[in-house]
């Protein structure tokens, strides 16, 4: 089923959030996966807590703060790696299928965008690094409204800018909580369940569950 617009979460959906730690795996040692998982978990936790408090700080600040916590939590990792890990976050690897899928959707006549918690600078750097900047029509950052997902005003940025009904938008995210928020807003949602996680938020189900973005080209 073709949609007028395909909107993608960035981190974990288009870009591999664990690529920064993996790039320095040799220096980090055996606790790299633990470090990366804590870094990601705290990055998200800080976004939710700050939205609830009404105390916005941009996503880059939260990324730095989350890494600082992770380094303290995993003391086996040399804190001198901090700056290199943060630098690597600006050029995260995209998942292998991403460029071809986005190009094919673009060729079908659909509009394409990123809708992300990331700061504008982070998203522009990531899109350029992965050569996606020439494919996308828009990059929507929550920085414009100073509230993070899953606040409904985040998803509303797309329909307001593009003058579309929510049902005309197919929203793809690897984050099940993000899919729940977008489903509640009225988007058609696709959960990109890359790591075969169990389902949750069962009262707000996705329209489709796929292991990667490739399924979008098969009528997904």
Q: Which residues are catalytic?
A: 9
Q: Measured between alpha carbons, how far is 74 from 69 in angstroms, rounded to an integer?
A: 9
Distant-in-sequence contacts of 95-98, Cβ < 8 A, 24+ apart: 95/14, 95/15, 95/16, 95/194, 95/212, 95/213, 97/212, 97/213, 97/214, 98/14, 98/130, 98/132, 98/213
Residues 6 or more apart whose CB falls under 8 angstroms from that of 44 comprise 175
111-116: strand order across its sheet: 138-141, 111-116, 5-8, 169-173, 188-192, 208-210
Q: Residue 18: is it exposed, middle or buried by C-beta count within 10 angstroms (0-12/13-18/19+)?
A: middle
Closest CA to 171 of 12, 16, 18, 13: 13
Question: What number of helices (H) and strands (E) belong to the chain?
Answer: 9, 6
Q: Is 202 helix (H, G, I), strand (E, B) or coil?
A: coil
């Amino acid at each position: 089923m073709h949609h007028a617009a395909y909107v993608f979460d960035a981190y974990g959906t288009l870009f591999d959030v664990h690529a920064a730690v993996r790039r320095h795996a040799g220096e980090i040692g055996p606790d790299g996966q633990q470090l990366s998982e804590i870094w990601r978990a705290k990055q998200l936790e800080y976004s939710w807590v700050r939205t609830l408090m009404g105390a916005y700080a941009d996503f880059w600040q939260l990324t730095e703060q989350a890494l600082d916590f992770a380094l303290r939590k995993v003391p086996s990792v040399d804190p001198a790696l901090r700056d290199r890990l943060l630098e690597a976050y600006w050029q995260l690897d995209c998942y292998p299928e991403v460029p071809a899928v986005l190009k094919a959707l673009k060729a079908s006549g659909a509009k394409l965008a990123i809708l992300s918690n990331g700061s504008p600078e982070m998203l522009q750097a990531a899109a350029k690094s992965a050569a996606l900047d020439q494919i996308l029509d828009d990059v929507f950052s929550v920085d414009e409204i100073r509230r993070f997902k899953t606040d409904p005003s985040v998803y509303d940025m797309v329909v307001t800018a593009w003058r579309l009904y929510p049902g005309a938008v197919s929203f793809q995210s690897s984050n099940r909580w993000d899919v729940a928020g977008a489903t509640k807003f009225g988007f058609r949602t696709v959960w990109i369940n890359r790591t075969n996680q169990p389902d949750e938020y069962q009262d707000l189900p996705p329209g489709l569950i796929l292991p990667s973005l490739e399924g979008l080209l098969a009528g997904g």
